[in-house]
Structure 1
Amino acid sequence: MTKISRGRCLLKVRIAEAKTTQAQLSRRTGYSQQQISNWVHNREKMSYEATVLCAFVLNCHAEDFYEWHLS
C-alpha cells in the first residue's frame, strides 16, 4: 500500500508568492505571529483547519503548503 507523508512546510514560499507578510497573515487568520513563525520554520505542523484557512487567505490550495512524499 502506498503511504503519503508531509515533508517540509512551504508556507514561507506561499506568503512570498502572495506578496504579503507573516504579520498580515496573522491579522487575516487570527493566528498569532509566533504560531505562523512556528509553521514557517517547521517547528510545528499546521492543522488541517489552519491549512485550509491560510489557503483561502493566500488564494492557493491546501496541498501547496507542504512537500509531499510517497512511499
Structure 2
Amino acid sequence: MYVVGECRLRVLLKERKLSQAELGRRTGIHRSQIGHWINDRKRVGVMGLDKARMIAEVLGLDSPYDLYEWDEVAPDKAASE
C-alpha cells in the first residue's frame, strides 16, 4: 500500500522555471493556495484531483499523481493506521 508523501510542486516549478504566481495565473488557483500545498501539507491536506489534473496539465506531467511522492507502507503497518 502507498500513502501520499511530500508535494513535489517546489521541485517541479523550479525545473520548469515557473513561479507560484505564474502557475496560479495559468490555472486560476490562487498563489497562496499553491504555497500552502508546497509548504504546509499536513495542515491543508492534499490537493483535490480536479486541481491536480489542471496543474499536471500545465506542468506537462503524465499523471496528476506525479505531483506527490508516494511512500510504501508495509501491509501490517497499514492495517494499524
TM-score by length of structure 2 reads 0.77
Tell me if the contact between 1:8 and 1:66 (Cα under 8 Å) persists in the aligned partners: yes
Amino acid at match of 2:2: I
Amino acid at match of 1:10: R
TM-superposed deviation, 1:29: 0.5
TM-superposed deviation, 1:42: 3.1
Q: Which residue is 2:76 aligned to?
A: none
User: Could you list the runs of 4 or more consecutive aligned residues of structure 1 that deviate by over 3 angstroms after TM superposition?
Assistant: none
* Corresponding residue pairs, total: 69
TM-superposed deviation, 1:17: 1.2
Q: Where do 5+ consecutive residues of structure 1 fail to align?
A: none
Taking the aligned partners of 2:40 and 2:60, their CA distance within structure 1 comes to 21
Which of the two has higher C-alpha Rg?
A: 2
Taking the aligned partners of 1:4 and 1:17, their CA distance within structure 2 comes to 25
Aligned CA-pair RMSD: 1.2
Q: Where do 5+ consecutive residues of structure 2 fail to align?
A: 74-81
Asked if residue 49 in structure 1 is aligned to residue 50 in structure 2, the reply is: yes
TM-superposed deviation, 1:63: 2.2
**Higher percent of residues as helix:** 2
Shifted more, 43-52 versus 20-29: the winner is: 43-52
Taking the aligned partners of 2:35 and 2:52, their CA distance within structure 1 comes to 14
TM-score by length of structure 1 reads 0.87
Identity %: 36
Q: Which residue is 2:11 aligned to?
A: 13
The higher-RCO structure (CA 8 Å, 6+ apart) is 1
